[in-house]
Amino acid sequence: MSLIIDGKKIALQIKDELRAAVADLKKHHNTVPGLAVILVGNNPASKVYVSMKEKACAEIGVYSEKHLIGEDSSTEELIGLIETLNKSEKIHGILVQLPLPGHMESKKVIESVSLSKDVDCFHPYNVGRLLTGEPVISPCTPAGIQELLLKSGINPEGQHVVILGRSNIVGKPLFAMLCQKSKGANATVTLCHSRTNDIKKITSAADILIAAIGKPNFVKADMVKNDSVVIDVGTNRISDKASEKGYKIVGDVDFEDVKGKVRAISPVPGGVGPMTIAMLMKNTVNACVSRIKATGRKQQ
C-alpha cells in the first residue's frame, strides 16, 4: 500500500503552530504580522490563489490587505504601490501574484519589493542567498515540498532527487535547496526540462521524483521506479463536463496509474498546494519577528 501524503493535514499542523506564534507576538510585542497581496488583472486561477492566501491569514490571525490593480495598469503604477507598502509599518510581507500581464516588466516589479518583505523569495538577492546556502528566507513552494517530505518521514539526504521543470518559482529554487550541505537536503539532484533527452530514463532512476512541469497527467507508471516517492506540484485545469464548473484540477502525475507502484505519493489537490500557503504564512510571521528584533536592536 502506498502512503498518500496528506498535505492538507500537515499544513493544518503548521498553521496551528503559527496561530500560537501570532498570539504570542500580539501579547508580548503588541504586533500583528501583516501581509499585502497584490493581484493585477482578472486571471481566474490567480483570483482563487489570492483568496486562499487571504483565508489562511484570517485563520491564523495575520492582518491582510488585498490590492486589486486593473489589467492595463503600468509597471510604474504597480511599483508605486509596492514602494508605499515597503514603507508601511503594518505590512511585513508583500506578495505580487504572478503571472503579471504581458506588458508589465516582471523583473523590475520583483526587484522593487523590499528584501525584508520578499516573502516569496523572488528577489535576485534572496535567490542568490539561497544558492550560496545562506538563505534569509525560503521560497514557499520548494520549502513546502521539503517540509512535506520531512514530516512524512522521507529524508532526501543521499537520495537521487529528480525534478521535472526549471521554473523560477519551483524547479530552480528547489534544486538550490535540496543540493545544500544542510539537514533535510544533501540530495543528489537532477533537473530535467522540456529539452531533456530521454526523460523516462532519468525519472525511472529517481528515488524521489518531483513533478513541476505544468503538463496534466504527464508522469505515468512506466516513468517511475518501484517503491520511489512521487511529489506532484502540478495544478492544471482540464475540461470536465461532469463537473458543475466545467473543469477539474489535475496534477502533473497520473495519480491512478502511478499510485500502486510507489512507496509514497502526494495528491492534487491536497498535497503541495496547502503547504505553499502554510509556508507563506510562516515567512510572513518570520518577517515580523525579524523586524521586531531589528527595531529592538536599534533602540538599545
Contact assessment for residue 259 and residue 251, using Cβ atoms and an 8 Å cutoff: no
Provide, rounded to whole angstroms, the least separation between the CB of residue 127 and ligand GUN.
13
Please give the distance of CA 133 from its chain centroid, rounded to a whole number: 18
Q: Is 113 in the site for ligand GUN (CB under 6 A)?
A: no
Active site residue 24: no
Provide, rounded to whole angstroms, the least separation between the CB of residue 3 and ligand GUN.
26
Q: 67: which strand partners?
A: 38
Contact assessment for residue 155 and residue 162, using Cβ atoms and an 8 Å cutoff: no
Provide, rounded to whole angstroms, the least separation between the CB of residue 211 and ligand GUN.
15
Contact assessment for residue 32 and residue 287, using Cβ atoms and an 8 Å cutoff: no
- Give me 22's grid cell: 501570532
User: Given 15, 118, 120, 159, which residue is catalytic?
Assistant: 120
* One residue of 10, 25, 36, 140 binding ligand GUN per CB under 6 A: 140
Q: Is 249 in the site for ligand GUN (CB under 6 A)?
A: no
* One residue of 141, 146, 228, 283 binding ligand GUN per CB under 6 A: 141
Closest CB to ligand GUN among residues 31, 276: 276
Provide, rounded to whole angstroms, the least separation between the CB of residue 66 and ligand GUN.
13
3-state DSSP call for residue 242?
A: coil
Q: What's the CA gap between 99 and 119, in Å, rounded? A: 16
Provide, rounded to whole angstroms, the least separation between the CB of residue 233 and ligand GUN.
10
Active site residue 120: yes
E strands in the chain = 3-4, 34-40, 63-69, 93-96, 160-164, 188-192, 208-211, 229-232, 236-239, 247-250, 264-265
Q: Which of residues 167-186 bind ligand GUN (CB under 6 A)?
A: 169
Q: Single out the residue of 45, 106, 116, 80 nearest to residue 293, CA to CA.
A: 116
Q: Is 52 in the site for ligand GUN (CB under 6 A)?
A: no
Closest CB to ligand GUN among residues 22, 140: 140
Q: Is 95 in the site for ligand GUN (CB under 6 A)?
A: yes
Closest CB to ligand GUN among residues 141, 152: 141
Count of positions on this chain that bind ligand GUN (CB under 6 A): 9
Q: Is 98 in the site for ligand GUN (CB under 6 A)?
A: yes
Q: What's the CA gap between 162 and 173, in Å, rounded? A: 13
Q: What's the CA gap between 284 and 180, in Å, rounded? A: 24
User: Given 97, 146, 159, 180, which residue is catalytic?
Assistant: 97
State the catalytic residues.
53, 97, 120
List interacting residues with ligand GUN (CB under 6 A). 95-98, 120, 140-141, 169, 276
